[in-house]
Amino acid sequence: MSIEIRDSPQFYLTAPSPCPYLKGRQERKVFTHLIGERAARLNDVLSHGGFRRSQTIAYRPACENCKACVSVRVPVADFVRSKSFRRTWTDNQDVVSDMRSATPTSEQYSTFRAYLDLRHADGGMADMTVLDYAMMVEDTHVNTRLVEYRLTGKNLPLNRQGEGPLIGVSLTDILADGLSMVYSFYEPEMAERSVGTYMILDHIERTKTMGLPYLYLGYWVEGSRKMAYKGRFLPQERLGPNGWDRVEK
């Protein structure tokens, strides 16, 4: 019995803090640790229940008077690109993506830093150093990868490995039933290419190729401009009181 107690996850509740998505509201989270041999299996189960991972922590909102944060996943076999998605896909045909080990690089951090400085200068991650970034990538007990996105073509500067300019990165977990985009960032100068959208479209294709049914996108937050984009990837499933509900439009 003592072994069962020790191996069972323990859940904790954070104190109230300002909500990063909806002005004037407070947020609380329930969380547990993802460590040891059972971390990957626990991450699978909790992801299916609406949790997200940050390093060795799995968390989900537990706000008393607000249910705005809704877990979203895309059933990739049914996804059909809209006209705007087809245009984004075409506009980025000179981009190659590569899934590799979760190993941080200075090149990635440079893009990460530029992204934070322009898009999230007042956010909770604004002061992250290169060591903080390395911890974000490496501190994992689950099956985690980095997907890099680079430009190809003539007359482009190449790095020491002969690769073109890095324009985007996604920290991605491989789950039993899909891929989960833990955190993504891109070169702000490439915003007109809709690189963030392209990375999701690419992950949908990767999920299909790997024979997995779902791409987990995290939380869609009604009323939040930061999270509104997630509602565009249809059809999708949103986690409600009775399980995952399909949304067509």
CA distance linking residue 167 with residue 153, whole number of Å = 14
Of 46, 69, 92, which closes a domain?
Answer: 69
Burial 33-71 (b: 16+ CB within 10 A, else e): bbeeeebbebbbebbbebbbbebbbbbbbebeeeebbbb
**pLDDT recorded at residue 69:** 96
Same domain assignment for residues 193 and 212: yes
**pLDDT recorded at residue 5:** 37
How would you class 6 by CB atoms within 10 Å of its CB: exposed for 0-12, middle for 13-18, buried for 19 or more? exposed
Same domain assignment for residues 165 and 184: yes
- Structural domain count, the chain: 2
Of 21, 53, 69, which closes a domain?
Answer: 69
Question: In the chain, where does DSSP find H-type helix?
Answer: 2-7, 39-48, 83-91, 106-119, 130-138, 195-209
Q: Tens-digit pLDDT profile for the chain (249 aa)?
A: 333 334 688 999 999 999 989 999 999 999 999 999 999 999 999 999 999 999 999 999 999 889 999 999 999 999 999 999 999 999 999 999 999 999 999 999 999 999 998 876 566 677 899 999 999 999 999 999 999 999 999 889 888 888 999 999 999 999 999 999 999 999 998 889 999 999 999 999 999 999 999 999 999 998 888 888 999 999 999 999 999 999 998
pTM here? 0.92
CA distance linking residue 156 with residue 147, whole number of Å = 20
**pLDDT recorded at residue 75:** 98
**pLDDT recorded at residue 160:** 84
Same domain assignment for residues 229 and 143: yes
Q: Comparing C-alpha atoms, which of 205, 230, 232, 207 is closest to residue 95?
A: 205
Same domain assignment for residues 22 and 119: no
8 A C-beta contact, residue 249 and residue 80:
no
Same domain assignment for residues 40 and 119: no
Same domain assignment for residues 54 and 85: no
CA distance linking residue 147 with residue 203, whole number of Å = 9
Same domain assignment for residues 195 and 77: yes
Same domain assignment for residues 79 and 65: no
Same domain assignment for residues 201 and 186: yes
Same domain assignment for residues 61 and 109: no
Of 22, 50, 69, which closes a domain?
Answer: 69
Is the peptide bond preceding residue 104 cis, with omega within 30 degrees of 0?
A: no
CA distance linking residue 119 with residue 131, whole number of Å = 21
Same domain assignment for residues 35 and 51: yes
DSSP string, 74-91: EEGGG----HHHHHHHHH
Q: Tokens for 210, please give them.
A: 């790997």
**pLDDT recorded at residue 6:** 44
Which CATH number belongs to the domain containing residue 165 in this structure?
A: 3.40.630.30
Range of the domain at 229: 73-247
Cross-strand partners of 1: none
